[in-house]
Amino acid sequence: MRHSFFISVFTACLIFFSCEKKRHDFPKDEKKNVLFIMTDDLNCDLGSYGHHQVKSPNIDKLAESGVLFYNAHNQFPLCGPSRTSLMTGMYSNQTKHTRLDVDVRQTIPNVVTLGQRFKQRGYTSVRIGKIFHYGNPGTIGTSGAQDDISTWTYTINPYGRDKEEEYKINTLRTRQYGGTLSWLAADGKDEEQTDGIGANEAIEQLEKFSKNGNNFFLAVGMYRPHTPFVAPKKYFDMYNQSEMEIPYSGSTDSYLNTIPIPAQHSVRWKKDQIKLNLKKNNKLAQEIKEAYYATTTFVDAQIGRILKKLKRTGLDKNTIVVFTSDHGYHLGEHGHWQKQTLFENSTRVPLIFSGPGIPSGVSSNSPVELIDIYPTLTDITKIETPSHVVGKSLVPIFNDNDFKVRESALTRWKASQNNKEFEGYSIKTERYRVTKWGENGEDGFELYDHSNDPEEMLNLANNINYKIILDSLKLHLDLRIKDAMKKPPGLGPQFEERRLRKEVNYTPGDIHSIDGKRIYIKPADE
């Protein structure tokens, strides 16, 4: 009996360690490269995420070849703070970054960013387009004011026809294109658009790396589908505008009265967009939604060109591909367009990993966060993760899609109304979302049951039948917030953010002539 017991224990240990080895079994013969592709303002309206209308064949194919995360969320649904969290592996409370116009070195000067970590380990770290925040489309063709020089070996900033022809763009606010809804079915070819030029530059870099044999961290930041929704006309022709469905259930006052005041403000503060909630303006709303989907398909095509080159060069055999977005996007849900809410439409992002050692055709509903990308990539490439990174490696999920690295994904948002600031935190589990407004919930709670209400239209916070569930989730949320506020070890000094005032930041390789042709500033290591 005793003998059998020890045999059983020994067998169990063998099984355990065997499983552990399987989940981390990446080829060890050579260093892995990284191709990191990031879109701007892309939600999960994609074929691989079950959307019946959007045409995204290249992203879908990438998902088929790797691991797709259905339940991935950003940490702050605004470009700048979200990108800073992703590139540092920390929450916005730790980066001290909640605004657009903040430089990462301004608040956490000693942080080691994702690209910087690869550069420290001998990789060529290259940025094409938008990775850290800068104005879109205002500073296209430059590095803007928030790019981080320490992260990159050199940078390339594409500049295309979409910038030169801004005067043609339809917009809800005259001569404004980024902060409002704007769109254009453009003339010309893909390669004339900024993202098309960016894809060309990525293809050129892959060709270069295939010949020189240098290990690389290549970050390709697409500017679309962020407004203005600009793409060649052929992508608009792929959609029937009259088939665009506009959700009006969240547009009514009766709906607004079911959610806390800060949540109400988050879906109504874009005054120029409120008219889209009126059914008499349905055709205009359909036109805008069609433009978003057309631009999504255009971006998908550019990603396809890059991935095709990766395979042609043979670099796919040794390159980890990551695809994601900085946050989600409302297309009329809850009576809102764009981002900056704590609803699923704004917090949820696509996230796909593919490459050698990563299984194909795997999907996971485990809650994960954008800050998990950093430690996942360092885990795969066997690079030591800096101690300040609080994200969790997703490698254990790759070969066990039931594995959980955490129970929930945490997102934070700040809203202001009538000179009063509201702060909210939200967690998404596999089934529920709970949102707290105010330090102690004094500004209200929201609770949504995704098994019955995936659109998050029925706030159950005051439903007595859900009291036990809500109380439990409140405790969990408070613990998540407490952890997110802790200063990570090894980070160095932290400073409170302030509005950044500095000139556009030029880094090697980002100067262009008036016709958009790239003119390099010679990198220091060349």
Mean of pLDDT values over 188-216:
97
Q: Given this model, what pLDDT does residue 287 score?
A: 98
Rounded to whole angstroms, how far apart are CA atoms 472 and 104?
35
On the question of pLDDT at 208 being above 50, the answer is yes
- Which two three-digit tokens encode residue 320? 């980890």
On the question of pLDDT at 48 being above 60, the answer is yes
CATH 2.60.34.10 fits 31-519, yes or no: no
Rounded to whole angstroms, how far apart are CA atoms 477 and 469?
12
String of b and e for 466-482 (b: at least 16 CB within 10 Å)? Answer: beebbeebbebbeebbe
Taking the chain, what is the end-to-end CA distance rounded to the nearest angstrom? 70
On the question of pLDDT at 96 being above 90, the answer is yes
**Non-local CB neighbours of 55 within 8 Å, separated by 6+ positions:** 47, 238, 293, 297, 300
Q: Are 77 and 341 in contact (CB under 8 A)?
A: yes
**Non-local CB neighbours of 474 within 8 Å, separated by 6+ positions:** 434, 436, 441, 445
Rounded to whole angstroms, how far apart are CA atoms 351 and 44?
9
**Four-residue CA torsion sign, 47, 225, 188, 156:** negative
The position carrying tokens 């020994």 is 10
What is the 8-class DSSP label of residue 178? Answer: S
Torsion of CA 341, 344, 346, 349, to 10 degrees: 150
Tens-place pLDDT, residues 413-451: 987 767 788 999 999 999 999 999 999 999 999 999 999
- Which two three-digit tokens encode residue 454? 């995936």
Q: Are 341 and 413 in contact (CB under 8 A)?
A: yes
Question: Omega into 27 within 30° of 0, i.e. cis?
Answer: no
Lowest model confidence (mean pLDDT) among 1-15, 203-217, 255-269, 318-332: 1-15
pTM of the model: 0.90
